[in-house]
Structure 1
Amino acid sequence: MTRLSLLGLYVVFAVIATIANLLTQRIVLFMNDGAAGFTVAVFMGTLIGLMIKYFLDKRWIFRDLTAGTAANGKKFALYSAMGIFTTAIFWITETAFWLQWRTDMMRELGAVIGLMIGYTVKYQLDRRFVFTNSAFVKPV
Structure 2
Amino acid sequence: MNGIARLASLYALSAALAIAVNLACQAAVIAAYHGPYAIPLSILFGTAAGLPVKYALEKRYIFRFQPDNLAHDGAVFVLYSFMGVFTTAVFWGVEYGFQYACGTDLMRYTGGAVGLVIGNIIKYQLDKRYVFIPRTALAEAA
**Match in the other structure for 1:8:** 9
User: Structure 1 residue 67: deviation in Å?
Assistant: 4.1
* Count of residue pairs brought into register by the alignment: 135
User: Are 1:103 and 2:104 matched, yes or no?
Assistant: yes
Q: Secondary structure at the match of 2:34?
A: coil
**Match in the other structure for 2:139:** none
Query: What do residues 49-76 of structure 1 show as CA deviations (whole Å, max 9, x unaligned)?
Result: 1110000000000000114221111000
Question: Residues 24 and 98 of structure 1: is their aligned pair in 2 closer, same or farther, counting only changes over 3 Å?
Answer: same
**Match in the other structure for 2:140:** none
Q: Secondary structure at the match of 1:63?
A: coil
Quote the RMSD (CA, aligned, Å): 1.6
**Match in the other structure for 1:21:** 22
* Runs (5+) with no aligned partner, structure 2: 136-142
Question: Residues 48 and 79 of structure 1: is their aligned pair in 2 closer, same or farther, counting only changes over 3 Å?
Answer: same
**d(CA) in 1 for partners of 2:10, 2:32:** 33
Q: Secondary structure at the match of 2:90?
A: helix
**d(CA) in 1 for partners of 2:35, 2:94:** 19
User: Are 1:51 and 2:36 matched, yes or no?
Assistant: no
Q: Secondary structure at the match of 1:35?
A: coil
User: Structure 1 residue 38: deviation in Å?
Assistant: 1.2
Is the radius of gyration larger for structure 1 or structure 2?
A: 2
TM (normalized to structure 2)? 0.90
